[in-house]
Amino acid sequence: MYKTNLINLAVSYTGLFLGLFNTFIKPKVLTSEEIGIFSTIVSITLILKLITEGGLSSVIMRYYPVYKNGNDKCRFVLSVTVLSYAILGSFIFLLFLSKGFLSSYYGNGSIDEYFFLLPSFLFLSHGLDLTERFSKVLFVSVRSNIIRNIYFKAANGAFLFYMLFFQISFKSYIIFFIIINTFTFLMMMRLIIPTLNIKPVLKDIIPDMSIIRNFRTYAFFMMVSAFSATMVSNIDRIMIGHYLDFSKTGIYTISAALAGTLLLIFNSFARTAQPKLSELVQSEKFDEVKKIYRENLYDNLHFGIALFTALSVFSIDILSIFGAEYKEGVSVIILIAFGQLLNISSGMCGEIISLSGFYKFDFYSRISLILIVIISNAVFIPAYGITGAAIATAFNILMYSGLKIYYAFIKFKIHPFTKRTLSFYTAGFFAALLMVSARPLTEKNITGIILISASGFLFYDFLLGTLFRYKNSVMLRIIRKTGR
């Protein structure tokens, strides 16, 4: 599994560097207000998407292993897909009815002007998420990862680079973004449909209610749970536009995107572990579940702590590249990155719970957090600006991570607190000291940041491999292969 994890991580980090390239160029070709408008619409889309999916992407992950070898596989796949698009169509109609509410909430014409993006993004995001979930259960997630993290981001970056030299409007970029999302969706369909190996007939287009009844309760709870999680992740951007302005939203978005690179590590390793966990949880092989949980946790910490250290040490230097106004986001990077590190440190507790018979925990815990998230942002944003939004985000991640760990321990005796876990933080502390000491010795540009960060990672990895004997240390693997 480690090899597949590394392949996924390599693909994801190629996508990460492409994404960072795009992030660095965006402030050069778009104003902070345009970035804020775009980010706000994307955040609203992500929240709405969880309703239109109706929890069916979670159903795919949990129930596909049950149907994949039976005669009902075709009916299951089509029932889930057709039902989800029926919900999507109904919701897009309701979306047009709520246009006036969105306009009044932000109090300017920007949302009116770009309202057409909402249904467009919603349709494409819905389809991409379903095909992505199928790619995981079909074990073709590496190829889907390449499509979404390399092809898409490379094309997006190429267009932004083109915008850097030519006078191209924000609306033109939006149209291109829709086109490239459409091509990405078609490529995902081309990957998934042959791999599914189903032979549908006309009557299968109508969802099979006998199959739907088997998972309707689970789908409802997962829909609300996922909706709540996305609310927690995106409500800050939506509320900043209301309490402050879209320019502040743009600064916050760039800073949060940099901090969010830690989440990429978790998602990369989860692509491999989650389908395996789904099968093991359904078979109640909890000793093997615990083993995969620990392996996944250590892989996450190995790279997550190193990245958190680099982001914290060089946050002001990175943001200075975008311009003086973006320096306001230093506290946002550090706070949100810390919150994401806490999430990584809990491992896949939440995923194990949601795949088990105790999935309602996710529903109740996330629902309870929605009110806290809204209140905390409403209190902290007017008082502390975008730093307040970051405080609210980090606090809510801390609360949810703690709840997941506690519940997973009560039900499965799974927890992240081991001597091995402590070794990652110890090695990370010494690596941070090295990087802080080396920071004044080089220019505060991209080359200097990369050089010191890479040196810090090698030192950190060397400590893990030699002092703490971590078997997946890169340095230790090299030493073993060379026989030295």
pLDDT in tens, 80-129: 888 889 889 988 888 888 877 877 777 666 677 788 888 899 999 899 98
- Which range is most confident: 88-97, 180-189, 201-210? 180-189
DSSP, collapsed to helix, strand or coil, labels residue 425 as helix
Residue 61 has pLDDT above 70, yes or no: yes
For residue 248, count other CB atoms closer than 10 A to its CB.
23
Helices marked H in 321-385 — which ranges? 330-345, 349-355, 360-384
- Which range is most confident: 76-80, 82-86, 170-174, 426-430? 426-430
* pLDDT category of residue 6 using cuts at 50, 70 and 90: low
Predicted pLDDT of residue 442 = 73
* pLDDT category of residue 306 using cuts at 50, 70 and 90: very high
- Mean pLDDT, residues 277-296: 86
CA distance 232 to 396: 8
CA distance 60 to 87: 16
- Mean pLDDT, residues 237-251: 87
Predicted pLDDT of residue 7 = 63
- Mean pLDDT, residues 228-234: 74
DSSP, collapsed to helix, strand or coil, labels residue 309 as helix
Predicted pLDDT of residue 108 = 62
CA distance 465 to 463: 6
For residue 105, count other CB atoms closer than 10 A to its CB.
12
Output the CA torsion 242→247→253→259 (10° steps).
-110
Lowest mean pLDDT among 146-155, 259-268, 373-382, 472-481: 472-481
CB distance 333 to 255 below 8 Å: yes
Cα–Cα distances (Å) from 107 to 39, 100, 103, 244, in that order, read 17, 10, 6, 11
* pLDDT category of residue 186 using cuts at 50, 70 and 90: very high
Of the two residues 476 and 82, the one the predictor is more confident about is 82
Residue 305 has pLDDT above 80, yes or no: yes
The sign of the dihedral angle between the CA atoms of 102, 103, 109, 115 is: positive
Predicted pLDDT of residue 91 = 85
| Interval 138-152: pLDDT, tens | 877 778 878 887 888
CA distance 360 to 225: 9
Residue 335 has pLDDT above 90, yes or no: yes
* pLDDT category of residue 467 using cuts at 50, 70 and 90: confident
Residues 6 or more apart whose CB falls under 8 angstroms from that of 31 comprise 247, 250
* pLDDT category of residue 323 using cuts at 50, 70 and 90: confident
Token pair recorded at residue 73: 């596989």
- pLDDT above 90 covers a percentage of the chain that reads 21
- Mean pLDDT, residues 327-337: 93
In 3D space, the residue among 81, 6, 58 whose CA is nearest the CA of residue 274 turns out to be 58
* pLDDT category of residue 434 using cuts at 50, 70 and 90: very high
Predicted pLDDT of residue 242 = 85
CA distance 13 to 113: 35
Q: What is the DSSP letter of 199?
A: -
Q: CA-based angle 196:148:91, to the nearest 5?
A: 75
Judge residue 93's burial from the number of C-beta atoms within 10 Å of its C-beta, 0-12 exposed, 13-18 middle, 19 or more buried. exposed
* pLDDT category of residue 483 using cuts at 50, 70 and 90: low
Predicted pLDDT of residue 3 = 55
- Mean pLDDT, residues 169-197: 90
Residue 11 has pLDDT above 80, yes or no: no
Residue 5 has pLDDT above 60, yes or no: no
Average pLDDT across the chain, whole number = 84
Helices marked H in 98-245 — which ranges? 99-106, 110-113, 117-137, 141-146, 152-165, 170-196, 209-243
In 3D space, the residue among 19, 18, 40, 38 whose CA is nearest the CA of residue 170 turns out to be 38
Total length of the chain:
484
- For helices 56-67 and 117-137, what crossing angle results, to 10°? 20
Predicted pLDDT of residue 424 = 94
- Mean pLDDT, residues 406-424: 90
Predicted pLDDT of residue 227 = 75
* pLDDT category of residue 471 using cuts at 50, 70 and 90: confident
CB distance 384 to 376 below 8 Å: no
The sign of the dihedral angle between the CA atoms of 251, 253, 256, 261 is: negative
- Mean pLDDT, residues 427-441: 90
Task: Answer yes or no: pTM beyond 0.85.
Answer: no
Of the two residues 346 and 112, the one the predictor is more confident about is 346
The sign of the dihedral angle between the CA atoms of 284, 397, 221, 79 is: negative
In 3D space, the residue among 225, 218, 208 whose CA is nearest the CA of residue 70 turns out to be 208
- pLDDT above 70 covers a percentage of the chain that reads 94
- Mean pLDDT, residues 436-454: 83
Predicted pLDDT of residue 359 = 77
Of the two residues 476 and 356, the one the predictor is more confident about is 356
Of the two residues 447 and 142, the one the predictor is more confident about is 447
